[in-house]
């Protein structure tokens, strides 16, 4: 410690013999400092060299940039000067007159030389369009053909180029000279050699180099000052040494199991590590405060402020005995001191029990990790027994009350328990096996433990008369096996006894003692909380499953269009909101519905019931699938808005998905609409699988009033329609595409019944622990026999009622339905008459013989009939009342081009009165209406 802290507190003595040679010592010290400054081993040296390198690179880069800039500027200046000189000479007065003389060279050569000298260019050359030189700086070139590009200038355009000419690499500018007719009569070019340009740049290099050298020297000086300052602050240490010093500092002050204090001059605390704070119970703001203000024992505070060292002095600090060591950090005096503290309280007393306590703590930790890994009551009891064997007991048994196993809360204290777990015995069970219902007697230790809820210790089983009296023969065999000691602990949670845990020791294991009882109670208490959580989860799960099962269809309704099979598999994590439905519609059509609600638990199950009820209610309206989902979407948005307005924290329904499909067995058409739900799979009779593409619509509650869309399909007879929720195709180990491919493989192949298809799909797609509910609905399609369908077109003429009625009666006779011909004739007469009177053409009558006789009359109007009261004096207005009286069901469904009024009649004729009773029925109705004073009009639109 003193070596560590004294490194910065002492100065190295001067070298011997240095006083008699001050000059030599100063030079030597300067060289040493310079070597230290330039050494890469020290942090200051590394910083200095790094700064010097960076500055050098910056200066060199700047110098290169300036030289390049100067060269570029010189070349630009050369281009400007040559072009200016050429244009000036080309536009000079008298040039055209001189060109027209017999000897233009004599006139132009002096002028060209004057312009050359004035402009600072190397040559001003005038030549004719054919390239013959008229003036030149070299007289020998006059009269010769010019070398270089001049065709562009001869064409009337000025240019500036760099090329290799007679004067070497040069910059040349050429300007055409035009006469009054805009014809080129000569060309003036001005030339500057690149060598002259380079000479100007070279003249600037000394100045630039001097500036760079000065900048480098100034930066080096600044870096040296910074590095010198850094060297003084780091004491010449290198990075490795500083890192090691920091690690030593952290280890000494925080990682060691000894308290460390540094007290400065004046008795103020400069530093305290975590262990010292714990041992002395120091406040958070202890540093920089005086030792006497820290609430320490007077003797200990006096030692810390005194000027004497100490070695292993024992001082009292609260309820701890501390061994104190004190050392000074400087040899000259007590400028600051370092104090170390060690806790020696009960060191000897704890030395023998430390290993036992460590094992117990480790066992408790393992119990917290291993008990309660599942929400299964039986498995949690088994985990308690597995944790305690063999580290605490040789055999452990756990008994629970039957209501606990069923998820219910016990109503009172009971000693009748069912053994749930047995761990530690193999082969022939000496103790009662798991699953056995045990009725503990009044003398058994279990009775006393259950009564007061406390653990019972039986150190010697052979002397426990009450335990032996429970089952003497079994008790004797248990003792003969070597089991000799027992701790019985009731499993209590929230003040309720759930069961009991029996810890047994056998053979060479030491008997249980009193201190073991506390540990057994702690272990049982942790397990009891987990068992109670599992019990409550079991109850909630059972309630949710029961609620969901009650909300799902208990059976498939009777219909002939589809052969249906289904599966519903709840998730292991909790009940979800997946659901399905089969809804018979008018005209022998059937609606297939599959939906999924976000989330799990009771809220999801209740939400599923609300959505299923809403779909049922909207399906009665016989509206298209896309319109039905649109109304459900509006309902979901309204419910969410109302719940948010009430408490602001409602879970809401938004995000639920639904698929609604309507199959028509008369035509084989399938109309499908989806709100965020996966589309159906269509398995054709040949075994091929198709996933039709459907219009994409958002989940329920997110439609924002946008219209939904549907898809129209025609499926062959015998095809299987497979509707499912996303839990079937999505899983942790596979993405959506993989799930769809697996579903396709499971559905493909030979023709199967819907029930077999469900079994194959579940076996292929089901995982061990599904994370989401799975709803699967498989329906095989059937077509109505064409001989069971009759259709006629009826003109809009009252005279056409009788022929249409007669044709319908003939078809009923062909079908053998004479027993209902009167009711059918009456219903058809009313429906056809209404269509002719109030509808528009075309008017179609259709009969379908299914489980009932379905009478349909369609027209192109959108008005719908309704029942209303008719006056006693009205001659009509009771037709639809008769339809409703004779038909089992009747209603209206709309089509894109009109409506269909339909009525279903029982094939056995039991829906309405007979022919003989019709008059009596009508008279009774007249009397009833006259007594009530109301009216009933069945034809009002």
Distance, CA of 906 to CA of 909 (rounded, Å): 6
The answer to whether residue 939 scores a pLDDT higher than 60 is no
122 within 8 A of 193, measured Cβ to Cβ: yes
Give residue 941's pLDDT.
36
Which of 900, 389, 934, 326 shows the shortest CA–CA distance to 664?
Answer: 900
Distance, CA of 688 to CA of 699 (rounded, Å): 29
Give residue 2's pLDDT.
40
Which percentage of the chain shows pLDDT scores above 90? 19
Strand partners, 503: 396, 487
Among 3-12, 394-403, 776-785, which stretch is predicted with the lowest mean pLDDT? Answer: 3-12
Which residue did the predictor score with more confidence, 692 or 61? Answer: 692
Give residue 643's pLDDT.
74
The pLDDT of 805-817, averaged and rounded, is: 90
CA dihedral of 459, 460, 463, 469, whole degrees rounded to 10: 90
The answer to whether residue 866 scores a pLDDT higher than 60 is yes
Which pLDDT band holds residue 494 (cuts at 50, 70, 90)?
confident
The answer to whether residue 126 scores a pLDDT higher than 80 is yes
**Neighbouring C-alpha atoms within 13 Å toward the C-beta of 327:** 15
Distance, CA of 32 to CA of 129 (rounded, Å): 79
Give residue 166's pLDDT.
58
The answer to whether residue 299 scores a pLDDT higher than 80 is yes
Please report which helix (H) or strand (E) contains residue 100, including its range.
Answer: helix 95-100
Choose the most confident range, by mean pLDDT, from 276-280, 354-358, 721-725, 727-731.
721-725
Which residue did the predictor score with more confidence, 694 or 15? Answer: 694
Distance, CA of 442 to CA of 803 (rounded, Å): 93
List of E strands, 742-870: 774-781, 789-794, 843-849, 853-859, 868-869
Give residue 782's pLDDT.
94
The answer to whether residue 19 scores a pLDDT higher than 90 is no
- Provide DSSP, 638-682: HHHHHHHHHTS-----TT-EEEEEEEETTTTEEEEEEESPPPPEE
- Kindly report, residue by residue over 269-291, the tens digit of the pLDDT: 888 888 888 888 888 888 888 88
What 493-497 contacts at long range (C-beta under 8 Å, 24+ apart), as own/partner pairs, is 493/528, 493/529, 493/531, 493/532, 494/532, 496/409, 496/410, 496/532, 497/401, 497/410, 497/413, 497/450, 497/453
The answer to whether residue 836 scores a pLDDT higher than 90 is no
- Kindly report, residue by residue over 613-668, the tens digit of the pLDDT: 999 999 988 899 999 999 998 888 888 887 776 665 556 677 789 999 999 999 99
Strand partners, 894: 899
Give residue 414's pLDDT.
83
Give residue 755's pLDDT.
93
CA dihedral of 696, 701, 704, 705, whole degrees rounded to 10: 90
Give residue 218's pLDDT.
73
The answer to whether residue 685 scores a pLDDT higher than 80 is yes
Give residue 618's pLDDT.
92
Beta-carbon count within 10 A of 570 CB? 22
The pLDDT of 326-353, averaged and rounded, is: 70
The answer to whether residue 25 scores a pLDDT higher than 70 is no
The pLDDT of 477-502, averaged and rounded, is: 90
- Provide DSSP, 678-703: PPPEEE-TTS-EE-------PPTT--
Among 270-279, 312-321, 370-379, which stretch is predicted with the lowest mean pLDDT? Answer: 312-321
The answer to whether residue 535 scores a pLDDT higher than 70 is yes
Which pLDDT band holds residue 304 (cuts at 50, 70, 90)?
confident
Q: What is the end-to-end Cα distance of the chain in Å, rounded?
A: 106
The pLDDT of 349-361, averaged and rounded, is: 68
> Phi and psi of 507, rounded to 5°?
55, -120
Give residue 6's pLDDT.
42
Question: Mean pLDDT over all residues of the chain?
Answer: 79
Give residue 657's pLDDT.
92
- Kindly report, residue by residue over 206-231, the tens digit of the pLDDT: 776 777 777 777 767 776 676 666 66
Which percentage of the chain shows pLDDT scores above 70? 78
- Kindly report, residue by residue over 135-150, the tens digit of the pLDDT: 887 787 787 777 666 7
- Kindly report, residue by residue over 410-466, the tens digit of the pLDDT: 887 788 899 999 998 876 578 888 888 989 888 888 888 888 888 899 999 988 888
Which pLDDT band holds residue 17 (cuts at 50, 70, 90)?
very low
The pLDDT of 394-399, averaged and rounded, is: 92
Give residue 931's pLDDT.
39
Which pLDDT band holds residue 354 (cuts at 50, 70, 90)?
low
- Kindly report, residue by residue over 139-184, the tens digit of the pLDDT: 877 877 776 667 777 777 888 877 666 556 777 888 888 877 778 8
């Amino acid at each position: 410690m003193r070596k560590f802290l004294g490194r910065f507190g002492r100065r190295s003595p001067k070298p011997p013999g240095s006083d008699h040679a001050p000059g030599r010592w100063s030079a030597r010290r300067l060289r040493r400092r310079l070597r230290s400054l330039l050494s890469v081993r020290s942090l200051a040296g590394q910083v200095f060299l790094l700064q010097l390198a960076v500055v050098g690179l910056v200066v060199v880069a700047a110098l290169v940039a300036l030289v390049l800039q100067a060269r570029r500027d010189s070349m630009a200046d050369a281009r400007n000067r040559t072009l200016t000189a050429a244009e000036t000479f080309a536009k000079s007065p008298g040039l055209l007159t001189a060109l027209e003389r017999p000897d233009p060279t004599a006139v132009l050569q002096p002028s060209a030389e004057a312009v050359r000298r004035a402009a600072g260019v190397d040559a001003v050359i005038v030549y004719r369009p054919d390239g013959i030189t008229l003036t030149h700086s070299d007289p020998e070139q006059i009269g010769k053909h010019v070398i270089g590009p001049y065709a562009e200038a001869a064409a009337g355009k000025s240019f500036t180029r760099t090329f290799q000419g007679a004067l070497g690499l040069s910059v040349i500018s050429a300007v055409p000279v035009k006469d009054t007719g805009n014809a080129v009569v000569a060309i003036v070019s001005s030339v500057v050699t690149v060598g002259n340009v380079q000479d100007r740049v070279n003249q600037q290099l000394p100045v630039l180099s001097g500036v760079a050298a000065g900048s480098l020297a100034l930066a080096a000086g600044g870096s040296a000052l910074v590095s010198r300052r850094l060297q003084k602050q780091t004491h010449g240490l290198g990075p490795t040494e500083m890192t090691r010093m920091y690690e030593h500092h952290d280890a000494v002050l925080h990682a060691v199991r000894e308290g460390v204090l540094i007290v400065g001059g004046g008795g103020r605390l400069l530093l305290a590590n975590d262990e010292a704070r714990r041992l002395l119970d120091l406040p958070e703001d202890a540093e920089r405060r005086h030792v006497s203000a820290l609430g320490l024992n007077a003797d200990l505070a006096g030692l810390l402020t005194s000027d004497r060292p100490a070695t292993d002095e024992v001082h009292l600090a609260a309820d701890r005995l501390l061994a104190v060591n004190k050392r000074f950090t400087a040899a000259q005096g007590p400028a600051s001191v370092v104090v170390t503290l060690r806790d020696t309280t009960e060191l000897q007393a704890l030395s023998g029990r430390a290993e036992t306590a460590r094992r117990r703590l480790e066992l408790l930790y393992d119990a917290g990790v291993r008990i309660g890994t599942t929400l299964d009551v039986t498995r949690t009891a088994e985990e308690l027994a597995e944790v305690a064997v063999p580290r605490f007991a040789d055999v452990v048994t756990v008994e629970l009350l039957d209501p606990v196993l069923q998820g219910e809360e016990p109503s009172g204290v009971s000693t009748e328990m069912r053994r749930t777990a047995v761990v530690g015995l193999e082969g022939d069970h000496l103790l009662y096996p798991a699953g056995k219902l045990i009725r503990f007697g009044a003398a058994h230790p279990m009775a006393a433990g259950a009564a007061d809820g406390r653990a019972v210790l039986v150190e010697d089983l052979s002397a426990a008369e009450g335990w032996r009296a429970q089952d003497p023969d079994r008790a004797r065999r248990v003792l003969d096996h070597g089991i000799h000691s027992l701790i019985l602990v009731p499993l209590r949670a929230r003040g309720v006894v759930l069961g009991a845990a029996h810890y047994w020791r056998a053979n060479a294991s030491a008997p249980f003692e009193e201190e073991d009882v506390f540990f057994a109670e702690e272990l049982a208490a942790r397990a009891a909380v987990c068992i109670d959580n599992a019990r409550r989860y079991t109850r909630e799960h059972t309630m949710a499953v029961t609620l969901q099962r009650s909300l799902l269809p208990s059976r498939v309704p009777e219909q002939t269009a589809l052969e249906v099979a289904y599966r519903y598999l709840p998730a292991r994590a909790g009940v979800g909101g997946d659901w399905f439905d089969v809804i018979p519609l008018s005209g022998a059509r059937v609606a297939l519905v599959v939906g999924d609600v976000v989330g799990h638990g009771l809220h999801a199950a209740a939400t599923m019931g609300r959505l299923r009820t809403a779909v049922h209610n909207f399906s009665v309206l016989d509206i298209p699938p896309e319109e039905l989902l649109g109304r459900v979407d509006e309902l979901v948005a309204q419910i969410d808005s109302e719940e948010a307005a009430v408490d602001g924290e409602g879970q809401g329904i938004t995000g639920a998905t639904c698929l609604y499909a309507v199959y028509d067995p008369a035509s084989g058409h399938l109309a499908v609409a989806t709100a965020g739900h996966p589309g159906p799979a269509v398995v054709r009779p040949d075994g091929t699988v198709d996933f039709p593409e459907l219009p994409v619509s958002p989940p329920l509650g997110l439609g924002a009033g946008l219209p939904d869309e549907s898809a129209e399909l025609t499926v062959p007879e015998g095809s299987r329609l497979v509707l499912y929720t996303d839990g079937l195709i999505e899983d942790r180990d596979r993405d959506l595409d993989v799930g769809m491919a697996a579903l396709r493989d499971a559905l493909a192949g030979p023709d199967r019944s819907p029930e077999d298809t469900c079994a194959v799909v579940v076996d292929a797609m089901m995982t061990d622990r599904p994370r989401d509910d799975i709803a699967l609905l498989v329906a095989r399609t059937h077509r109505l026999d064409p001989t069971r369908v009759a259709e006629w077109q009826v003109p809009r003429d009252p005279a056409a009622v009788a022929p249409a009625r007669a044709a319908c009666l003939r078809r009923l006779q062909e079908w053998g339905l004479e027993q209902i011909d009167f009711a059918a004739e009456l219903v058809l007469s009313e429906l056809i008459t209404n269509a002719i009177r109030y509808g528009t053409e075309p008017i179609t009558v259709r009969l379908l013989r299914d489980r009932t006789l379905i009478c349909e009359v369609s027209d192109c109007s959108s008005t719908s009939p309704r029942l209303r009261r008719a006056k006693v004096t009205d001659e009509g207005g009771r037709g639809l009342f008769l339809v409703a009286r004779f038909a089992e069901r009747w209603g209206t469904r709309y089509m894109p081009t009109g409506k269909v009024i339909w009525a279903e009649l029982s094939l056995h004729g039991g829906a309405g009165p007979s022919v003989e009773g019709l008059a009596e029925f009508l008279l009774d109705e007249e009397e009833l209406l006259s007594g009530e004073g109301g009216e009933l009009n069945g034809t009002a639109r």
